[in-house]
Amino acid sequence: MGWHSAYHEDDAERRRWQNPEAILREIGLSPGQTFVDIGCGDGFFSFPAARMVGSSGKVYGLDIDSEAIKCMTQRAEEEGLTNLILTVGKAEQLVPCKACADFVFFGIVLHDFDEPSEVLMNAKMMLKPTGCLVDVDWRKESMELGPPFSIRFSEQEAVSLLERAGFMIDAVKKSGIYHYMVVAKKRL
């Protein structure tokens, strides 16, 4: 858990510096699509995505934290969201669906995985041929929020990881005041 839980317990606080709906609109998420949220935590992106894709779409949430998945399951039931498919496990080992995803999404988590290259290979298996991988992560700058500087990936490090995993980069851009966004597609 570490630094991560301290900043994800309070969605209202996080929303002061990151707007999940705006990010999901920016990437083009729309009704009927399939969205895979790797390292979904408490569902900061999964819940808005589930509402955006609607009952004809699906959102897969994957996280190693069983308590977070349990809380998400309860919240989904309370909100009547039946399109969330939640799984506890390591992203290095699990592929919730093959060639199903319009988007595989990493919301400020790619730097947290033990083996990011394995996670990206699994992401590639989940994407439809036309699907996009989206990595939103902390800029590699010293700041009060977020993980230690030493574990952050710069934009170039993230791009390099993605390219080595067989992705073509569509865009690298600023995302809010603390983050960057890399959008990539599978090399076919």
What length does the chain have? 188
User: Tell me, which fold does domain 2-186 have in CATH?
Assistant: Rossmann fold (3.40.50)
Whether the pTM exceeds 0.85: the reply is: yes
Tell me: the pLDDT tens digits for 49-108? Answer: 999 999 999 999 999 999 999 999 999 999 999 999 999 999 999 999 999 999 999 999
CA angle, 5 as apex, 4 and 10 as ends, to 5°?
Answer: 115
Q: What is the residue whose two structure tokens read 């900061």?
A: 44
Structure token digits, residue 57: 């779409």
- Pull the structure tokens for residue 114: 């033990």
